[in-house]
Amino acid sequence: METPSELAFSCPVKKNQYDHVLLAHGGGGTLMQNLIASVFLPAFSNPLLNQQHDAAVIDLGGTQVAFTTDSYVVQPLFFPGGDIGSLAVHGTVNDLAMSGAKPLALSLGLILEEGFPIAELKRITASIQAAASRCGVVIATGDTKVVNKGKGDGVYINTSGIGIVPEGVLIHPRQVQPGDVVLVNGDIGRHGMAIMAVREGLEFESAIESDSAPVSDLVGQLLAAPVAIHCLRDCTRGGVAASLNEIAASRRLQIELMEESIPVRPDVEAACEILGFDPLYVANEGRFVAFLPEKEADKALAILHAHPQGQGARVIGVVRDASQPLVTMQSALGSTRILDQLSGEQLPRIC
């Protein structure tokens, strides 16, 4: 596995110089951005896709409908704090929430590998239903395909989702302004480290559990308050650093983080140190960054701290005008380092 320092700076954003797909093309870093910029956007260019938002928002007869999709190929299928089923529900519900939408319904596309135990399938479907119930969504439509033994990995799941964006809500990267503060809704790096600890057979005093959880209810409370949120982005593949780099690049702004404000649990920090990861680049599945005017921050934090998914919320940074897009982090000692976009995910198949 490549280390962050080898990966950083290795790849220009606009050009794909590879002849074959690499694992890192699915990692949420610059390699994936290259694939999007060099293959997908030129092929499919249209105003909805070009938004490059977590969900496309479509006007259907005056109703703003958010529409999103995600496939899940995580290994192992079951991990502390969740499994591929609950992950597939939370991930897509959270993508809808990032556009300000109230999630309504999911589709479920299963690609099963021949020989997969029916008992495990039932365990996963039960987990999907439990997660859907918690999120207040239904599995409205589904499809099952089976591939030959050896041509899958037990089960791959696609969930697509639709939701409704309340009237007057406009959450979008282009709303981000210099002077906005950046909040995160809790401690970071847990999902990636939960998966890695299982893969590497690491044992801690207690297992690190994934943060996999739906944030749609919390986002709904923020919008209903109302808190004047400019933009939301979940911090999945590539972690907080990838999400912030995407926003910085799309708005050509600088985002300055304060290292001492970044919430990381000690066990996650220890696991990151053992395995050589930076928690800012590690995937989360229940964490998002919010951009909002500084004067709204206290109101937002009060709502966040009162909610199970926001108890560890913190202001972690601020947005500045810049000559070129950049994410930087200031240490407690006053030194500043650049948090660049990685070329791929440090941890393949994390979701």
Report 31-60 residues binding a copy of itself (CB under 8 A). 32, 35-36, 39-40, 43-44, 46, 48-49, 55-56, 58, 60
- Rounded CA separation 4/190 (Å): 18
Both tokens of 218, joined, read: 């919390």
One of 111, 275, 326, 327 touching a copy of itself (CB under 8 A): 111
Closest contact distance (angstroms) between CB of 241 and a copy of itself is: 19
Instruction: Output 128 or 181, the one with its CB closest to a copy of itself.
Output: 128
Q: Are 88 and 236 in contact (CB under 8 A)?
A: no
Pick out residues in 221-250 that bind a copy of itself (CB under 8 A): none
Instruction: Output 81 or 152, the one with its CB closest to a copy of itself.
Output: 152
One of 14, 61, 203, 335 touching a copy of itself (CB under 8 A): 61
| 349 contacts a copy of itself (rule: CB under 8 A) | yes
DSSP state, residue 165: P
One of 3, 144, 311, 336 touching a copy of itself (CB under 8 A): 144
| 121 contacts a copy of itself (rule: CB under 8 A) | yes
Closest contact distance (angstroms) between CB of 132 and a copy of itself is: 7
| 67 contacts a copy of itself (rule: CB under 8 A) | yes
Q: 228-267 burial by CB neighbour count: b if 16+ within 10 A, else e?
A: ebbbbbbbbbbbbbbbbbbbbbbbebbbbbbbeebbbbeb
Pick out residues in 150-179 that bind a copy of itself (CB under 8 A): 150-153, 156, 158, 160, 162, 164
Sequence-separated (6 or more) residues with CB below 8 Å from residue 122: none
The structure tokens 């596995």 sit at 1
Q: Are 107 and 161 in contact (CB under 8 A)?
A: yes
Closest contact distance (angstroms) between CB of 199 and a copy of itself is: 13
Comparing CA positions, the residue from 221, 234, 187 lying closest to residue 68 is: 234
Pick out residues in 266-285 that bind a copy of itself (CB under 8 A): none
Instruction: Output 106 or 301, the one with its CB closest to a copy of itself.
Output: 106
- Rounded CA separation 89/75 (Å): 16
Sequence-separated (6 or more) residues with CB below 8 Å from residue 18: 25, 31
| 184 contacts a copy of itself (rule: CB under 8 A) | no
The structure tokens 């590690």 sit at 282
Instruction: Output 140 or 302, the one with its CB closest to a copy of itself.
Output: 140
| 13 contacts a copy of itself (rule: CB under 8 A) | no
Q: Are 348 and 31 in contact (CB under 8 A)?
A: no
Instruction: Output 68 or 254, the one with its CB closest to a copy of itself.
Output: 68
